[in-house]
Structure 1
Amino acid sequence: MSVPAARLGDLGRILATYVSSVLALAFAAAVLPGLSFSSFEQLLFSAAATLLVGALVRPLLVVASAAVGWLAVLLLAVLGQAVVLALALSLIPGVEADSFWVVLAAAWIAAAVATVVAWLCTSGTPEAFTAALVRRTRRRRQALDDPEAPGVIFVQLDGVPFPVMQWQLLAATLPTVGRWIRNDGYRLVEWTPVLPPTTPASQLGILHGRIDGVPAFRWYDRQLGRVLVANRAADATEIERRASDGRGLLADGGVSISNLFSGDAERAMLTMSKMQLARGTADTRRRVAWYLARPDGFAGSFFGALAEIGRERFEARRQRRRDVQPRQHRGWLFAGMRAVTNVVLRDLNTALVAEEMIRGTRAVYVDYVDYDEVAHHAGALRPESLAALDRLDHVLACLEAVAAAAPRPYRLVVLSDHGQSQGAIFADKYGVDLAAVCSQLTTARVEAVEQSVEGWGRVNGLLADLSGADTSTGRMANGAAQRVQRRSAPPEVTAGSELVVLGSGNLGLVYAASEHRLTMEDITDRWPALIPGLVNHEGISFIAVLSSEYGPLAVGPDGVNQLSDGKVTGEDPLAPFGPLARTDLLRAASMPEAPDLYVNSSVDPDSGEVSAFEGLVGSHGGLGGWQGRGLLLAPPDLLIPEQPIRGADELHHVLVGYLEQLGQRSGIKQDTAEV
């Protein structure tokens, strides 16, 4: 009688885990004077007891900590392994441990050794984490009423340009995506985000079918009299409230994970527009507690985060040593932020998506920011950015493996919300930032909001969603989230400010601190040197402004494009940006939320490099380079339209069509909600 391969695999995994545990405990005893085993047999029994107690006690710790609150969950991550080890060692006579602190140190040393052993056994890939998720999926599969109905996992690879994906496929560095295209019939196509190519504008369009009302990543809201930033919880809530009609992409039983907006999902986790800093659910805590309690969960991510910090510091030093240009300062603060987004948040997102597959959730939309975060600071084509994309390919392989064990079939759809452009920072290249240029041309009091805050929003979102209820533990976590939020918040527009200048990639926004939008004629009357000074600056290609006589205009140093009909006087300032730039800019400049002046940086005609008005060498938000080149990767049975997809609202209809094609959204009627 043959033994099933799955059973042999389980036996092999248990044996490997046991050997790792023996080695880990032996190493801990060797380096800790307060821990000792009297014999090798005692060490073997202790390792076996640790595995057995962990299997029995860890689920109880997860349930208890999830019921109590987030501080208990976090304490479980730090102390859970020590509790398991202490109970296990108490079962073996003669084992000496001087104190619980010795056991705590031994638990973390053992976790570190086990992580290293697992890394060596899997050649540095996340196979162990994938295997754990697959085993959990098989054990906890739930009975469904419609197990044959396919579900869809929408995976957003934030900021990945279509050409970068193409190049990496040609280089064969993305084995999972390459196999899908080569063997499984997946189709990779390009889609075009319209101005502005930013996550809030694109994701609002993808998830809610609306692309108006978002003029940039952040902007001055004349109604509220303050700056709105899409990755702040309160602002994201307000933006979604204005756009949602209740029929978003995820309205029919879907789940939103780690996004800015919810897509009208029934449940949302780590989603900025649904953050409630004073509340948390036991279900969410239970899911995160399971991830944190596992030796290959929190411990793996913790040591992975340390490795990511070391990797970032090495790569930043390598750029300086080689004098790579353009580049920016990359300090310890960014290294820590990268460790959170590219290790902890990535692993947590994957665990949460896997949990939804276990439950048979019909549609999930998740955003992985790994590439975008690194490319902002290192550059879109730099080795470290491409390596982040390679690690995302491993994530896709993990989700594919979990999907194969899930209670319903799943389709994996991959997309990016925009691309990335590269270039020297405007202030570095020209010795002055945009706010200072406006100040010099007007002598007005200028409020500048140009610092990069996109990454901080992800950190704040993680803390905010883990803050819990209005208890002492919840208030502690809530306080941490609020401190990060204050760090990432833009300055308030102070009384007496005449101009508010914001940077959104290589797109600048200039507002008069007024309740009403100023026309070109108004601006010329108040600050006659402002428009001529901007359009003649060598770092600026054009400005867009509303004329009371001619409507929206694109004004360059040698000509004007009348956007409503395309009439050009002199040289067309939009000629370098292609035939679709005029309609893009017309739509953006016609929005009520549009600034008094849009300012687009110059673009190198040979390299396509742009100059961000933020402190970033990789950017998106304006025109130029690859920032307006998104990607869509879909399995062969989901139809891709023959005509080009232009605009996130059109992409929304394509994705909704996928759900309808698979039998979803039957309960959503077009007249059941009001905008």
Structure 2
Amino acid sequence: MTSTHADASPPPSGGDGPAPAPSTGIAGQLARETLRRPWYAQVVSFVVSVLFIVPAVWLCDWLLPGFHVEEPVGPIVFAAVLALVGVVLQPLLVAAAVRLGWAGVLVLAFVGQAVVVLVTGAVLPPVTIDDFWTALVVVVAVGLVSTVLGWFGSAGTSQVLVSRLVSSARRRPAKLADPDTEGVVFVQLDGVPFPVLQMAITAGTVPTLTRWVRSGSHRLHEWTPKLPATTPASQMGILHGVIDGIPAFRWYDRANDRVMVANKPADAAVIEADLTTGKGLLVDDGVSISNLFTGDAPSAVLTMSRRVRGAEAARRAVAEFVMSPSGLTRAISRSVSELARDRFQARRGIRRDVQPRCERTWETALLRCVTNGALRDLNTILVAQHMLSGTKSIYVDFVDYDEIAHHAGMLRPESLEALEAVDGVLRQLETVASAAPRRYRFVVLSDHGQAQGATFADRYDEDLATLVSRLAQSDVAASDDDVEGWGRTRALVGELSTSGGVTGRTMESAGRAMDKGHHNEPDAVSAAKPRGDATARRSTTQDETFHVFGSGNLGLIYVRGEKEQLTRAELSRRFPALVPGLAAHPGVGFVVVMDDDGPVALGAAGLHRLDDGTVEGEDPLLPFGPLAPEFVRRVAHRPEAPDIYANSLLDPGTEEVAAFEGLVGCHGGLGGWQDRACVVVPTDLPFPEERVIGADALHVALRDILRHLGHRRGITEPGTEPGTDPAAPADAAPVATRSDEQLVPDE
């Protein structure tokens, strides 16, 4: 096991009581001092907020012909009354927004604040406001000025994101039947490799995680995802304990002659229904937030495989935030900032000729606005809401780093800034924990790592689909567009569609249009024309012989219409140049096909028979590490395996790979840091000392943490007989173990 434990003193352990969580340390003390203020401190806070509004009032009076406040005390009076009216009307506006649905939240975020300004103007004769649009401009100006001044006064505006929720929870604390049971917040840092997080902690650029590790409250571990290193396979393993049945992000369902895409809601629902045991990680009063799968949680929000339950409470939490001028301005300014930064960083990379590099378009910039702007804040609000209501276990996926690293690279400044931003979210959640009705423990993990390198198409002037088409002299249906970001946007649109009425139906139609768009539809590649020729790109029909998928640097090649995997002999008979041509290509590290006596990995100068380990010539799997043979053998024997697996080259000097998608940072196959994931766990909770191999094994380790804290009582885990539940009694802490079977790939 690789771990980091920077504190020289011995870590806290079970003993007479649990060790202090971070929220009860320095950060917790600061949070309590901030949130449990006496009445006079609340008055001071109100006065400060009014003073922040006054400059905006002066600015509007100077710039807007339809807005006037009589001097000298008019701006101060207007600011004070505006703040008071906002407090009085906010509950009514929030209630209205909740009943109108998600679209109502978005609309009233603007309209509601304008109404507050109009009401304030109506009750103050010295104030003149000509119309609604003038009031709306005043709202924006007040929010912008207050945000800027607040930033200088508090070193940032992040705390406003959860402060209103915390204040509301303190006025109306949740009552729990089991307040002594500690809760767990699982925070997934999507796509963060272990070495990247280790370096960030060493450098101190993630101050919250650095404090946890250096104080000895947490330890940093490395764990190894099995093939494929993708979010669908890893999340299914972590949340449900199953890693089979998902060969990539997209694949071909032979039985139904259809393409499966893990982040399409309909497909995600089918995948979970087929694979879940019904006893996932979150089955005991948990919630899934912004994930692909639910973990069998009773409640799920922004989760692909199931529509939201309890949407009204979630909308209320978001409405309370955006009904505040500072909250609304934060959401707008953050999104605009992400767009501008992406455009600047993309142009800077071109100007400096940063290599490797891939195309960064306006489309990818807009997706970054969603994932690193609105979605991050929305996820934070939802987690905070569930913590304050006492939900026992919460699993949330923050995709900020993964989305940027795909297009910029693993160690580029913008990728590391995204990681630092999510670390800031952890600091906010510590504040929330100090006001929550139960004590919460934080477990931070990534679902996989990433590898980096120039794309296959950039290196060789043709993509994998074109190469297959040329070697086989057959038309190909190709699916290699980046759809992860679009899936997350689709989840947000799907959430808006739950509002019902006209707006809900509009959002639902938009979601269906996104599902049918080119991002989830394959492109046709003609054997007679290169893929770059516009006349060769068209929607697919049943005429294409192959379906080719790019999943990072892992390629999946299926012969369409076949109900079973074709053997190497059959492939050679029908397409004699295909398998040898792929294996000999300089951009391909190895290909895997099914021989008469089992799967075989083929390279340019040798082969490796996976069932008996026989190697002839040079072993093509040797550069990919000691676990490569068993990882490849497991997926090659699965019924959903393609006719041909193709894994890209691995540069021995730089550990760079060549993605079959248009991404400079990728994951899915073998090579580089994509199978080097991380997990940060409180030191006094059980966790295996040896390296965890596979997301299914990590599921067992996280499940043991929940049982140690008193969760999952009465739940018989999959694979155990009734009456032989391995969990220890409630007054004993089970020892974290991992059976030998979990170290061996499933047959």
TM over 0.5: yes
User: Which of 351, 370, 376 in structure 2 is aligned with 1:346?
Assistant: 376
Unmatched tracts of structure 1, length 5 or more: none
User: Which of 134, 139, 147 in structure 2 is aligned with 1:107?
Assistant: 139
Aligned to 1:538: 586
CA contact (8 A) 1:42 1:92 kept: no
Quote how far apart the aligned CAs of 1:351 are: 0.5
CA contact (8 A) 1:445 1:497 kept: yes
Question: What are the superposed Cα offsets for residues 408-452 of structure 1, whole Å, 9 maximum, x if unpaired?
Answer: 000000000000111001101110000000011011111111111
One-letter code of the match for 1:177?
L
The answer to whether residue 674 in structure 2 is matched with residue 627 in structure 1 is yes
Give the distance between the partners of 1:330 and 1:576, measured in 2 at CA: 31
Aligned to 2:559: 512
Give the distance between the partners of 1:366 and 1:668, measured in 2 at CA: 23
The answer to whether residue 465 in structure 2 is matched with residue 435 in structure 1 is yes
CA contact (8 A) 2:687 2:705 kept: no
CA contact (8 A) 2:589 2:648 kept: yes
Q: How does 1:144-155 map to 2 (within 5 A)?
A: 144-155=176-187
Unmatched tracts of structure 2, length 5 or more: 1-33, 523-538, 722-747
Question: What are the superposed Cα offsets for residues 641-672 of structure 1, whole Å, 9 maximum, x if unpaired?
Answer: 12210000000000110110000111323479
Quote how far apart the aligned CAs of 1:26 are: 1.9
Q: Say if 1:476 and 1:4 are closer, same or farther in 2 by CA, change over 3 A.
A: closer
Aligned to 1:322: 352
CA RMSD between the two structures: 1.9
Larger mean Cα displacement after TM superposition, 295-304 or 257-266: 295-304
Q: Say if 1:71 and 1:129 are closer, same or farther in 2 by CA, change over 3 A.
A: closer
Aligned to 2:37: 6
Give the distance between the partners of 2:256 and 2:110, measured in 1 at CA: 43
Aligned to 2:503: 473
User: Which of 23, 34, 42 in structure 1 is aligned with 2:55?
Assistant: 23
Q: Percent identity?
A: 49
Q: Say if 1:24 and 1:603 are closer, same or farther in 2 by CA, change over 3 A.
A: same
Quote how far apart the aligned CAs of 1:117 are: 1.9
The answer to whether residue 263 in structure 2 is matched with residue 250 in structure 1 is no
Q: Say if 1:671 and 1:220 are closer, same or farther in 2 by CA, change over 3 A.
A: closer
Larger mean Cα displacement after TM superposition, 61-70 or 280-289: 280-289
Question: What are the superposed Cα offsets for residues 130-157 of structure 1, whole Å, 9 maximum, x if unpaired?
Answer: 4444334433321212212100000000
- 3-state SS of paired residue (1:318): helix
CA contact (8 A) 2:220 2:680 kept: yes
Question: What are the superposed Cα offsets for residues 514-546 of structure 1, whole Å, 9 maximum, x if unpaired?
Answer: 222111111111100000110111100100111
Give the distance between the partners of 1:191 and 1:152, measured in 2 at CA: 20
Aligned to 2:601: 554
- 3-state SS of paired residue (1:467): helix
Aligned to 1:643: 690
Give the distance between the partners of 2:668 and 2:410, measured in 1 at CA: 14
Quote how far apart the aligned CAs of 1:221 are: 0.9
CA contact (8 A) 2:400 2:422 kept: yes
Aligned to 1:357: 387
The answer to whether residue 288 in structure 2 is matched with residue 240 in structure 1 is no
CA contact (8 A) 1:291 1:348 kept: no
CA contact (8 A) 1:252 1:667 kept: no
Question: What are the superposed Cα offsets for residues 84-115 of structure 1, whole Å, 9 maximum, x if unpaired?
Answer: 11112211112111111111111112212222
Give the distance between the partners of 1:671 and 1:627, measured in 2 at CA: 29
Q: How does 1:604-623 map to 2 (within 5 A)?
A: 604-623=651-670
Give the distance between the partners of 1:114 and 1:489, measured in 2 at CA: 42
Give the distance between the partners of 2:601 and 2:429, measured in 1 at CA: 46
Quote how far apart the aligned CAs of 1:294 are: 2.4
Q: Say if 1:11 and 1:344 are closer, same or farther in 2 by CA, change over 3 A.
A: same
CA contact (8 A) 1:507 1:598 kept: yes
Give the distance between the partners of 1:387 and 1:222, measured in 2 at CA: 42
Give the distance between the partners of 1:129 and 1:40, measured in 2 at CA: 34
Give the number of aligned pairs.
Answer: 670
The answer to whether residue 633 in structure 2 is matched with residue 603 in structure 1 is no
Quote how far apart the aligned CAs of 1:327 are: 0.6
Give the distance between the partners of 2:600 and 2:134, measured in 1 at CA: 71
Give the distance between the partners of 1:31 and 1:484, measured in 2 at CA: 42
CA contact (8 A) 1:275 1:461 kept: no
One-letter code of the match for 2:400?
D
Question: What are the superposed Cα offsets for residues 600-639 of structure 1, whole Å, 9 maximum, x if unpaired?
Answer: 0001101111111001000000000000001010112211
Quote how far apart the aligned CAs of 1:17 are: 1.3
Quote how far apart the aligned CAs of 1:69 are: 2.6
The answer to whether residue 115 in structure 2 is matched with residue 83 in structure 1 is yes
Q: Say if 1:576 and 1:673 are closer, same or farther in 2 by CA, change over 3 A.
A: closer
CA contact (8 A) 1:129 1:296 kept: no
- 3-state SS of paired residue (1:554): strand
Q: How does 1:409-420 map to 2 (within 5 A)?
A: 409-420=439-450
User: Which of 414, 423, 428 in structure 2 is aligned with 1:398?
Assistant: 428
**TM-score, normalisation: structure 1:** 0.96
Quote how far apart the aligned CAs of 1:124 are: 3.5
Quote how far apart the aligned CAs of 1:288 are: 2.6
**TM-score, normalisation: structure 2:** 0.87
CA contact (8 A) 2:285 2:391 kept: yes
- 3-state SS of paired residue (2:333): helix
Aligned to 1:260: 292
CA contact (8 A) 2:103 2:499 kept: no
User: Which of 522, 529, 532 in structure 1 is aligned with 2:570?
Assistant: 522
CA contact (8 A) 1:337 1:459 kept: yes
One-letter code of the match for 1:486?
K
CA contact (8 A) 1:510 1:595 kept: yes
Give the distance between the partners of 1:469 and 1:260, measured in 2 at CA: 21
The answer to whether residue 71 in structure 2 is matched with residue 48 in structure 1 is no
CA contact (8 A) 1:151 1:408 kept: yes
User: Which of 209, 221, 230 in structure 1 is aligned with 2:262?
Assistant: 230
